[in-house]
Structures are given as structure tokens and as C-alpha cells.
């Protein structure tokens, strides 16, 4: 009996010790992972409290209920403490997260700057729109071109001044491969690949050996236009170009056709537009002329049609070629061509 009491006292001591230690440990846990480890250490299957409970079997039947009660009290106290500390840690973690992830809704947002079309693209898209509306197709062609397309089949034979090395960029010493000097080779390419009748425009880059200044650049853009059909006349050419000019510069804008020479058109002309600045009186913009040159055009030379296998007795056509930079400069009142290529954002952002 004495022995049993001793055993009982020892167990009581152990239980008290576990209880004190565990409560202190729980209070000291810094996060829920630590707390969980402590739960296992004290209340788990192999935990310290369970070890004591296993010794219950060695107690006498009289002592067992009392000890059982005591052990259950300790377990309940630990469980309560665990739960409480768990809630505290959770609340602290939430508090920390709220602080860390706080969003200051009063800070001004970052401006999203949307880009926009380059003035050249705006001008070209306008021109495309006008011609697409009249049933034209838009073609693209090579900038590295054969002299046969750029010159020969456009009726500009050996010895024509524009074939000179001082004007044109050639790749070979025989002057057969070159950077196209005009979009007109697209006339030949269209005649070669399309079935009649033909209605096309062909915008793109062209290259000439020009020094850079306010109105010149060794690379610039042209838009070629061509129609081949039965009974096509100069009147169709003038009507179409007048419509183009009125769409670009406003209803009632006057045009003027002057005789000119191109090897691939006959007759040939240049078309001027009445100066938008002075209305034709003469000012610095039009250099006192009252008119500004816009494009070259004419009726396709019968030899050009023949060279591409089209019978000039059955078919006729017209063509024109306009400089795109000049059109954009006039449209947006840009005074220096170089601004268009320098890509200075202060300039570009104005459009």
C-alpha cells in the first residue's frame, strides 16, 4: 500500500511537471508550425502525457479513477492552452499580412501610354482607303529590283539618264541588280502576274543617290497606281486623281495638269495642287507659284503594254506615282523631311 501511494505521488508530480512545461512551451511558440510540433511532443501518441497515462495500469483499482481524472484535467488544460495560443498566433499572422500587403489607394496610378500611328502610316492608310473604296488592290513588291523591271520594261533603255551610277544604287558592276528608284516596276510585275483588267496601287520604299536635306533623302516612299482596261482614257486618270485630291485636302481643291515626260507614259503629265496656304496667290510654302507639285502620271506607253504581252489596240491604261513624304508633309504641315525619319518622340507625339 505504501508503495502504491509512492507510485501515485510520483505520477502526480510528473503530471504537474508536464502541465507546467507544456504551458510554458505553448506560450513561447512563435508560429503555428512550432505550436504543432509541441502538440505532438506533449499530446501525441508517443507524447509525454500519453507515456504517463500508460502507467495507469500499474495503479490499484481504487487509485485509478482519481488519477484518471487528474490526467484528463491536464489533457483538457493543455488542449485549451493550445487552442488559445493557436488563435493568438493566427491573429498575429493575419495582422502582419495586412500590414505587409497594405495598398495605399491614394498613390497616383502609373500612366499607361498608348502608342499611335506614325504620320507616314496615317497618310498612307488614308490613301489606301480611298483607292480600296474604288476597287483597287494594294500590292507589295521587292525593294531589291532587277534593272529590267525598273528600266528596260518601262521603256527606259541603256543610256537613259536615270540609269546613271550617280543616281542609282547598283549591286553589281553590270548594273542589272539595284535598289528600285521608283515604284513603277510594280506596273510591270502587276501586268506579269494579274489577269486583265487591272486596278492596283503599290506603296513602298524607293532609293536614289540624293544628299539629305529638308526636302531630300536617299530613301523615301512612293505610291504607284495603275489601271488597265478597255477604253481607259486620260479623262479617267484626271477624274480619279481629282477624287484623290479632294478626299485628301477637302472638296473643291483645285488641281492642274502640266505636260511632262516619262519614258513609260505617253502622253505624260505632272499634277499640281493649289497651295493650301495661300489658296493660289503665291506664298513661301509654294515658293510664290500658287501650286505645289504632287505626282507624275500619264497614259501607259503602248510599247510598255506590248513588252508585257498586252495588246495596246485592245487595252489601254494609265498610271501615276506620288511621293508619300511630300503628301504627309503637306497634310500635317511638316516643314522638314528629316523630322519624319528621326523618330524624335517630341515630334511624333504630336500626331
Q: Which part of the chain contacts ligand PHE (CB under 6 A), choosing from 36-44, 119-127, 209-217, 292-300?
A: 292-300
Which SS3 state, helix, strand or coil, does residue 17 take?
helix
Q: Tell me how far, at minimum, the Cβ of 180 lies from ligand PHE, in Å.
A: 10
Residue 151 interacting with ligand PHE (CB under 6 A): no
Selected from 11, 49, 223, 297, the binder of ligand PHE by CB under 6 A is 297
How far, in Å, are 38, 47, 68, 108 from residue 50 at the CA level?
14, 5, 12, 60
**Per-residue contact flags (x/-) with ligand PHE for residues 307 to 326, judged by CB under 6 A:** ------------xxx-----
Which grid cell sits at 154? 518601262
CA 177 to chain centre: 34
Which SS3 state, helix, strand or coil, does residue 297 take?
strand
Stated length of the chain: 351
Residue 207 interacting with ligand PHE (CB under 6 A): no
CA 140 to chain centre: 21
Selected from 155, 182, 274, 316, the binder of ligand PHE by CB under 6 A is 182
Q: Tell me how far, at minimum, the Cβ of 348 lies from ligand PHE, in Å.
A: 27
Minimum CB distance to ligand PHE smaller for 182 or for 327: 182
Selected from 150, 155, 168, 184, the binder of ligand PHE by CB under 6 A is 184
Pairing type for strands 198-207 and 291-300 reads unpaired
- For residues 243, 247, 249, 252, the Cα torsion angle rounded to the nearest 10 degrees is 50
Residue 298 interacting with ligand PHE (CB under 6 A): yes
Question: CA-to-CA distance for 323 and 222, rounded, in angstroms?
Answer: 5
15-54 residues in contact with ligand PHE (CB under 6 A) are none
Q: Tell me how far, at minimum, the Cβ of 149 lies from ligand PHE, in Å.
A: 12
Give the DSSP per-residue string, 121-155: HHHHHHHHHHHHHTTPEE----SEEEHHHHTGGGT
Question: CA-to-CA distance for 295 and 323, rounded, in angstroms?
Answer: 7
**Per-residue contact flags (x/-) with ligand PHE for residues 104 to 143, judged by CB under 6 A:** ----------------------------------------
Minimum CB distance to ligand PHE smaller for 43 or for 299: 299
Q: Considering only CA atoms, which of 182, 197, 208, 144 is closest in space to residue 264?
A: 182
User: Using CB atoms, what's the residue nearest to ligand PHE?
Assistant: 321
Q: Tell me how far, at minimum, the Cβ of 247 lies from ligand PHE, in Å.
A: 20
CA 79 to chain centre: 62
Q: Which part of the chain contacts ligand PHE (CB under 6 A), choosing from 125-133, 136-144, 294-302, 336-344?
A: 294-302
Selected from 26, 296, 324, 326, the binder of ligand PHE by CB under 6 A is 296
260-279 residues in contact with ligand PHE (CB under 6 A) are 262, 265
Which grid cell sits at 147? 534593272
Positions that interact with ligand PHE (CB under 6 A)? 182, 184, 262, 265, 296-298, 319-321
Amino acid at each position: 500500500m505504501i508503495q502504491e501511494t509512492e507510485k501515485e505521488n510520483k505520477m502526480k508530480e510528473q503530471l504537474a511537471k508536464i502541465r507546467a512545461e507544456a504551458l510554458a512551451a505553448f506560450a513561447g511558440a512563435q508560429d503555428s508550425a512550432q505550436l504543432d510540433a509541441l502538440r505532438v511532443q506533449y499530446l501525441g501518441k508517443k507524447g509525454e502525457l500519453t507515456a504517463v497515462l500508460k502507467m495507469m495500469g500499474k495503479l490499484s483499482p481504487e487509485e485509478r479513477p482519481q488519477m484518471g481524472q487528474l490526467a484528463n484535467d491536464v489533457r483538457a488544460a493543455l488542449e485549451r492552452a493550445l487552442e488559445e495560443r493557436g488563435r493568438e498566433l493566427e491573429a498575429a499572422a493575419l495582422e502582419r499580412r495586412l500590414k505587409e500587403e497594405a495598398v495605399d489607394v491614394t498613390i497616383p496610378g502609373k500612366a499607361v501610354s498608348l502608342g499611335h500611328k506614325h504620320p507616314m502610316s496615317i497618310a498612307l492608310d488614308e490613301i489606301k482607303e480611298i483607292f480600296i473604296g474604288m476597287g483597287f488592290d494594294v500590292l507589295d513588291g521587292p525593294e531589291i529590283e532587277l534593272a529590267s523591271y525598273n528600266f528596260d520594261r518601262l521603256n527606259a533603255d541603256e543610256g537613259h539618264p536615270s540609269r546613271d551610277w550617280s543616281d542609282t544604287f547598283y549591286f553589281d558592276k553590270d548594273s542589272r541588280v539595284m535598289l528600285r528608284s521608283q515604284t513603277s516596276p510594280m506596273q510591270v510585275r502587276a501586268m506579269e502576274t494579274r489577269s486583265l483588267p487591272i486596278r492596283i496601287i503599290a506603296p513602298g520604299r524607293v532609293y536614289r543617290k540624293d544628299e539629305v536635306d529638308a526636302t531630300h533623302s536617299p530613301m523615301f516612299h512612293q505610291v504607284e497606281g495603275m489601271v488597265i482596261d478597255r477604253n481607259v482614257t486620260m479623262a479617267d486618270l484626271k477624274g480619279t486623281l481629282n477624287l484623290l485630291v479632294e478626299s485628301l485636302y477637302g472638296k473643291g481643291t483645285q488641281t492642274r495638269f502640266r505636260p511632262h515626260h516619262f519614258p513609260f507614259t505617253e502622253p505624260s503629265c505632272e499634277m499640281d495642287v493649289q497651295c493650301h496656304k495661300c489658296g493660289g496667290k503665291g506664298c513661301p510654302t509654294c515658293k510664290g507659284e500658287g501650286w505645289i507639285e504632287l505626282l507624275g502620271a500619264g497614259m501607259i506607253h503602248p510599247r510598255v503594254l506590248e513588252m508585257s504581252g498586252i495588246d495596246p489596240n485592245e487595252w489601254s491604261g494609265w498610271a501615276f506615282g506620288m511621293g508619300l513624304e511630300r503628301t504627309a508633309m503637306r497634310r500635317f504641315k511638316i516643314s522638314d523631311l528629316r523630322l519624319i525619319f528621326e523618330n524624335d518622340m517630341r515630334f511624333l507625339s504630336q500626331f
